[in-house]
Amino acid sequence: MKSIAPHRVAGYITLTFLGLTIGFYFLNGLFSNLFIAFLVTIPVFTALTFYLVRYFINSFIYAKIKPIYKTIYDFKPSKNEVSESDVDVFAHVDQQVETWMKGKTQEIQQLRELEKYRKEYIGNVSHELKTPIFNIQGYILTLLEGGLDDPNINMLYLKRTEKSIDRMISIINDLEAIAKLESGELELNYEKFNIYNLVEDVFELQEIRANNRDIKLRFGKTVDKNTMVFADKQRISQVISNLIVNSINYGRPDGQTTVSFYDMDNVILVQVRDTGLGIPENELPRIFERFYRVDKSRSRDQGGTGLGLAIVKHIIEAHKQTINVNSTPGKGTSFTFTLQKA
């Protein structure tokens, strides 16, 4: 509704008074008594004046409030939507503006947090790639400056160079995997398979690593060897492998890593529990972030890329399932995730 021009307002008022005057003379002739005509005309005049003033005030308020609504919600409200509360329309608008400002404040806070995370992420990627690159550069320069002819160091430095290159490849492959998972480009190949046999295969692959750290890999006592799930076998193998390797790297000597299954109606709950160092409570909310490490120096010494748990979370969520972590410092950590029952 558009605001009414001043000359139209004057015209409406003139017509109203003209109508009231004609009505007064009509009533005077009808009742043949001036006093009775006044008694009848005054209430009519008061009522018409009230509704006329109310109409013009509402029109004025609407004309002033409409731009505010358009700014807040980017739409054109009707007059009825704006003046639902005729008693205190300004309080209604004030509430709407306050709600809008709270929403914008939250959006700004989220944008700041995302910007902070982006900066940390870029810094972490740079740091992770810089370390092997500098190592490779140092080894190559040493070989070029005469080390290549020295049988005591040439093969040693070439092997170290290869190790640094493998680390770079691992980081790049993990980054590529996360990018595909986030964008939805990575297609999951669902199939029915035995989760017990899959974990058993992972145990065999990680047996040497576990023995070197004197950690036992075992199943829970109540595990059903015939437990079947419906998922992408290769990706779930990657999930279990990452969790088990993580438990070994942060495990205590003479400790153990236990994998258990629980039947939860339509899903199977898989638990990977260790008796390692545990994770402080304040660190738990960030444990699945890319490149986030609880013990940075120890993780790098073990050759981790810092992307393992981030990949685990993305794979599980790509399956439309959930993963959770519980930990007690000094006692161990437990990762649990669900898979669709076959």
Residues across the chain: 342
Paired tokens of 136: 């490779």
For the chain, percent of residues with pLDDT exceeding 70: 65
Q: Exposed, middle or buried: residue 38 (CB in 10 Å: 0-12, 13-18, 19+)? A: middle
For the chain, percent of residues with pLDDT exceeding 90: 28
pLDDT band at 194 (very low <50, low <70, confident <90, very high): very high
Q: Which residues contact 131 (CB under 8 A, 6 or more apart)?
A: 300
What span, in angstroms and rounded, lies between the C-alpha atoms of 87 and 26?
36
Q: Could you tell me if 298 and 312 are in contact, meaning their C-beta atoms sit under 8 angstroms apart?
A: no
Give CATH for domain 190-340. 3.30.565.10
Least confident of 74-78, 121-125, 331-335: 74-78
Q: Is the pLDDT of residue 297 over 60?
A: no
For residue 255, the model assigns a pLDDT of 92
Q: Is the pLDDT of residue 185 over 50?
A: yes
What span, in angstroms and rounded, lies between the C-alpha atoms of 223 and 201?
16
Name 323's bridge partners. 337
* Mean pLDDT score, 132-145: 88
pLDDT band at 87 (very low <50, low <70, confident <90, very high): very low
* Mean pLDDT score, 118-130: 71
Paired tokens of 127: 């740091």
Least confident of 40-44, 165-169, 236-240, 278-282: 40-44
For residue 170, the model assigns a pLDDT of 78
Q: Is the pLDDT of residue 268 over 90?
A: yes
What's the mean per-residue pLDDT of the chain?
77
For residue 86, the model assigns a pLDDT of 47
Class of domain 117-183: mainly alpha
